[in-house]
Amino acid sequence: MNPRVYCIATNTFREAVRDRVLYNLIAFALLLSGAAVLVGQISIDIERLVVINLGLTAVSLFGIVIAIFIGIGLVAKEIDKKTLYTVLSRPVRRWEFIAGKFFGLAGTLVVNTTFMAIGVFAALLYVSHHLQGSDSGVLVALYFIVLQFVMITALALLFSTFSSPLLSAVFAFSLFVIGSFAEDLRGIARLTHGAAGWLETGVAYLVPNFSALNVISQVAHGEAVAPQLIAYNTAYTLVYTLAVLAGAVLIFERRNLK
């Protein structure tokens, strides 16, 4: 990695840790351990299902909230505190700043998710006393959740380059919700004809395809995820993130910071 990008990324990670972002792990641990103990008392034969559903949903929601609320301040905060000028007065290009911020937050989320994943498997082990082969699906679901974080981080960063933090949060969260229904959107577009159909198709392909990254219900029921889907989702996330970051660089390069 470019040393300047690496430096900004590590500083972003340190800043997130200093901001007590990882404290969410305590809330997550309490939620999951509480659920693991309670579910054994109140449900019959769906302990694993509840733990997987609850655990993965919590991982996803915690991460999305962090990605959005940290992501939207990545650039805006630096401008507010005027620290951006100090950074850019050094031999750091604007695109390097964007890339570094992105890798820093994405790295924070990966570390955060790793700890949460350990929590999910610990709770799973607690309720069923052993792990099964089908539990590897949980790892795939966790991987897809990380892919969601990567895209959301890039989107939050994109909005952060030109909008206020509040509006950026609204935009990023709206895109997350819309993207979760992306498959429905494309279905509707297929049924629509004429100019409206073209417009809907364009929008349906423009929004991030989060729906294909949510396999929580599937893995909770022990169903395998096709290896091709893992490959396509990985490629899609990389390409889409690249497009969003390119957009962020495009805007940030042209932005008048005086």
Partner 1 sequence: MSSRRVTDAAALLLLLSMAVSVLLVRQVDQLRAGATLQEVLYISSPKLLKRLSLGYDGLLADVYWTRAVQYYGGMHHAGGGNYELLAPLLNITTQLDPHLIPAYEFGGTFLSAKPPRGAGLPQKAVELVEYGIHNNPDDWHLYYDLGFIYYMDLKDYSGAADAFRRGSQTPNAHPFLRILAAQMAEHGGDTQTARMLWSATFQTTHDDHVKANAASHLRALQVDQDVSDLERAVEIYRQRTGRLPASFVDMAAAGLLRGIPQDPLGQPYRLTSDGKVEVTDPDDLPFVENGLPASYVPPVVPKITPVE
Tokens of 188: 């509707």
Tokens of 14: 């340190």
For partner 1, the closer CB: 16 or 50 = 50
For partner 1, the closer CB: 16 or 56 = 56
134 binds partner 1 (CB under 8 A): no
Q: How far is the CB of 220 from partner 1 (least distance, A)?
A: 8
- Out of 253, 256, 257, 258, name the contact with partner 1 by CB under 8 A: 253
| Own/partner long-range contacts of 41-49 (Cβ < 8 Å, ≥24 apart) | 47/127, 47/128, 48/124, 48/127, 48/128, 48/220, 49/220, 49/221
- Out of 27, 38, 196, 226, name the contact with partner 1 by CB under 8 A: 226
253 CB neighbour count, 10 Å cutoff: 12
228 SS3 class: helix
Q: Which burial class, exposed, middle or buried, applies to 224 when counting CB atoms under 10 A from its CB (0-12, 13-18, 19+)?
A: middle
- Out of 30, 118, 167, 239, name the contact with partner 1 by CB under 8 A: 239
170-209 residues in contact with partner 1 (CB under 8 A) are 181-184, 186-188, 190-191, 205-206, 209
Q: How far is the CB of 94 from partner 1 (least distance, A)?
A: 8
Residue in this structure with the two tokens 């970051």, named with its chain if needed: 245
Residue ranges in contact with partner 1 by CB under 8 A = 93-95, 181-184, 186-188, 190-191, 205-206, 209, 211-212, 217-218, 220-221, 226, 228-229, 232-233, 235-236, 239-240, 242-243, 246-247, 249-250, 253-254
